[in-house]
Amino acid sequence: MNELVKKDDNSLVSNIETGQLVKSKNFLFTNLSQRMSFSQNVLFSLALLHNDIDEDGYATSTFTKKDVERYLDIVDFKKGRSTRVIEDIEQVGTNSIVMFDEQMVTDPKNGKLKGVLIFAQYTYNQGVYHFVFNTTKIKYKDQYITPILDILRRNEVNPVVYNLDIFAKLNASGQVLYEQILLATNAGKRELVFNLEGLRSLFGLVGASMQTFGNIKLKHLVPAVEKINKFAGVGVVYKPIKEGRKITGVKIYWTLEKVKIPATEAQIKLAHELYAELTLMNAKNVEALKLQDIERCTKNDAQTIIDTAIKAKKELVKKALEKDKEAKQLEEAIKAKQDEEAVKLASIDESKEFDVLELPELETIENINEAKEEEVEEFSHLDLFFNRYPSMSIKNREAFIELSKTFDRDEALKVLELADEIKKAKKARSFNYTLKILREWADNGVKTVSQAESFYKVNYNDIQENSSTAKTKSSTKQTTSKSNVPKWSNPDYVNKLDPKIIDMLEEFHKSQGTFETPEAQAEIAQRRAEIEQGRANLEAQKQELLARLDKKCIDK
């Protein structure tokens, strides 16, 4: 399996493009049998970065001189000097790791140690480096294992992870110290403590000159700290440990937040889940949260991004709940109003005269067709008034005709229109109101429209101009303010869009024996069309209101 391929469990992996190397602790430079120069450490890191394991367990690593020059700005490499190439590839290719048990440390006489070569073969051919990893089986604790292959395949909990762009700029001492700082940071520590022997082991120092702290500090510790602070920027400082006046060791500190530890497996998994959730929730600018590129972030930066995403998710959930609540409240309000109007409609006394359809008493006339013919002949001058109300009951029609006889024939239509305008101005719903006005005028000897206007002004002082008078005046017609009182609050209110009106109209014509006449069928068809159109308009208004509410919730 290629180590560069991202695993399904979101574990950390190496990345050739970014130069990120995920390395087992077994391959720490302090665990190798031979210490190497800083350029050899980079070459060894490249061999691990480019490793590839096939299905048969054959592990190799191939890269070019150009890959080396990406990280090492050395004249010897760019010129291809044989001494540099031979020396470095040989040192890397012949290195090994040492495995030993605990007794080797506590009781070397009875301890066990075994060295294993990392590479079985290495070549350099016209600028191409090729390493073959050692996959030989060895016996270890009564079983045969392939240690190098097992290490390459292993997914460690806290591996050492560093970027070669930074790592290649450090000197050899800085590289080994930087590895230890990364390892400690992964474990949540922010200091390292070494005695003098520990420092010599860390930097691979031998000889009498390296027995004192001063020489170790001058030649290795200080240069390592300076390089790390310059290129890695982690704020490393050290403090000598003294016993009396003698320095016996050193404490090394650094700024934990500045160490560029990559995002953890748990952070990567959580970030991917958050990205999927926010995308499904139609979050705006989800790309700006950088959740998709979480693998490229440091541990601290990744946590900041995740915290921001979690906050954004909570806000979206809160808005969604508020939107659902408002929509539910609106739906309940509409239903409550519909139920209220239905109750009011059911409670209306059937004997009341409706504004839309007024049913006559059955015994009003005996022959409706004969009555209509007489009206056409004698009262055709009132057609303009009656045409406004095609659904007016015969009873009311006869009442208007009877009262019109008391007025001058040429003035009768204008008098009826004036009374009708007064009814509208008073927002009265029943024709009884208009008939009451006409009776009052008739009882007081009114014959013309001017007399009616004068009578009403004297007695009520709020007459509205009739249409014929208003047309001759240059002043603008006075408008009345629209009442905020809902229609259904009036005791005489009738729902004009109630389908029961059609049933009542049909029953009326059947009772009068006119149901089969063309006039009756036309009247029924017209009322049915008006009701259907009105209910359709009401439903459209409802949908528009719901849409506006949705838009308002989204804008919030």
Domain of 203, CATH number, reads: 1.10.10.10
Q: pLDDT (tens digit, 9 = 90+) per residue, 452-465?
A: 888 888 777 555 54
pLDDT above 70 (res 409): yes
pLDDT above 80 (res 213): yes
Residue where a domain stops, chosen among 259, 278, 302: 259
pLDDT above 70 (res 120): yes
Q: Which residue has the higher pLDDT, 76 or 252?
A: 252
pLDDT of residue 448: 93
Residues 153 and 15 in one domain: yes
How far apart are the two ends of the chain, measured CA to CA in Å? 50
Give me the DSSP letters along 468-501.
Answer: HHHTT--SPPPP-PPP-S-GGGSTT---TT-THH
Q: Torsion over CA of 184, 188, 194 and 197, rounded to 10 degrees? A: -40
Could you list the residue range(s) of the whole structural domain that residue 442 is in? 391-460
Residues 404 and 423 in one domain: yes
Q: Span 176-200, mean pLDDT?
A: 90
Give the lowest-confidence range in 266-280, 391-405, 520-534: 266-280
Asked if residue 300 belongs to a domain, the reply is yes
Asked if residue 214 belongs to a domain, the reply is yes
pLDDT of residue 546: 78
pLDDT of residue 172: 94
CA 53 distance to own-chain centroid: 42
Q: pLDDT (tens digit, 9 = 90+) per residue, 309-323?
A: 888 888 888 888 888
Residues 217 and 125 in one domain: no
pLDDT of residue 223: 95
Q: Span 13-36, mean pLDDT?
A: 89
How far apart, in whole angstroms, are the C-alpha atoms of residue 235 and residue 230? 9
Asked if residue 359 belongs to a domain, the reply is no
Structurally, the chain folds into a number of domains equal to 5
Q: pLDDT (tens digit, 9 = 90+) per residue, 483-503?
A: 544 554 455 556 777 788 888
Q: What is the pTM of this model?
A: 0.49
Instruction: Using pLDDT thresholds of 50, 70 and 90, give the confidence band for residue 4.
Output: very low
pLDDT above 80 (res 59): yes
Asked if residue 481 belongs to a domain, the reply is no
Residues 137 and 177 in one domain: no
Nearest residue to 34 via CA among 109, 110, 119 = 119
pLDDT above 50 (res 470): no
Residues 187 and 295 in one domain: no
Q: pLDDT (tens digit, 9 = 90+) per residue, 234-258?
A: 889 999 999 988 999 999 999 866 5
Residues 173 and 309 in one domain: no
pLDDT of residue 467: 45
Residue where a domain stops, chosen among 273, 291, 324: 324
Q: pLDDT (tens digit, 9 = 90+) per residue, 77-119?
A: 555 566 778 889 999 999 999 877 777 778 888 888 888 999 9
CA 421 distance to own-chain centroid: 58
Nearest residue to 431 via CA among 486, 354, 483, 502 = 354
Residues 137 and 181 in one domain: no
Residues 516 and 418 in one domain: no
Instruction: Using pLDDT thresholds of 50, 70 and 90, give the confidence band for residue 377.
Output: low
Supply the mean pLDDT for the chain.
80
What percentage of residues in the chain have a pLDDT greater than 70?
79
Residues 400 and 296 in one domain: no
Residues 63 and 130 in one domain: yes
Residue where a domain stops, chosen among 240, 259, 278: 259
Q: Which two tokens stand for residue 322?
A: 């508020």
CATH of the domain at 24: 1.10.10
How far apart, in whole angstroms, are the C-alpha atoms of residue 75 and residue 81? 9
Residues 120 and 34 in one domain: yes
Residues 23 and 143 in one domain: yes
Asked if residue 81 belongs to a domain, the reply is yes
